[in-house]
């Protein structure tokens, strides 16, 4: 059995890849993939990794929530601080002082 070579990975990845995946494809198909990767602004390897991960997640299902959209982020930023001046803090403190009753 061959020992895996350490392969340089994308910038920012902490662990180095220990496995390599090779794929045979006609030159025309590879050129199409290269063009798509360039349009996305990433290397062919990065583009292929992202696409394969996305397809694997679709087929296997994933427990991770989807990434927030720009609208979700804007809504969250608009809501920040919206409770100030509503008296919520005083109501919470008053409720904490109320003794609990157990029947």
* Tens-place pLDDT, residues 5-52: 555 555 555 566 678 888 899 999 999 999 999 999 999 999 999 999
Domain residue limits, the chain: 27-97
* Tens-place pLDDT, residues 46-102: 999 999 988 988 888 877 777 888 888 888 888 777 777 788 888 888 888 777 766
**80, two tokens:** 């920040």
Mind giving me the DSSP string for 32-86? HHHHHHHHHTS-HHHHHHHHHHHHHHHHH--SSPPPPPHHHHHHHHHHTTTTTTS
């Amino acid at each position: 059995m061959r020992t895996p070579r350490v392969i340089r990975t994308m910038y920012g990845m902490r662990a180095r890849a220990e496995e390599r995946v090779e794929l045979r494809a006609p030159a025309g198909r590879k050129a199409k993939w290269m063009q798509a990767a360039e349009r996305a602004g990433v290397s062919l390897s990065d583009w292929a990794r992202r696409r394969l991960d996305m397809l694997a997640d679709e087929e296997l299902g994933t427990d991770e929530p989807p990434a927030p959209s720009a609208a979700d982020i804007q809504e969250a930023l608009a809501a920040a601080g919206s409770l100030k001046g509503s008296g919520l803090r005083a109501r919470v403190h008053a409720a904490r002082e109320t003794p609990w009753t157990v029947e």
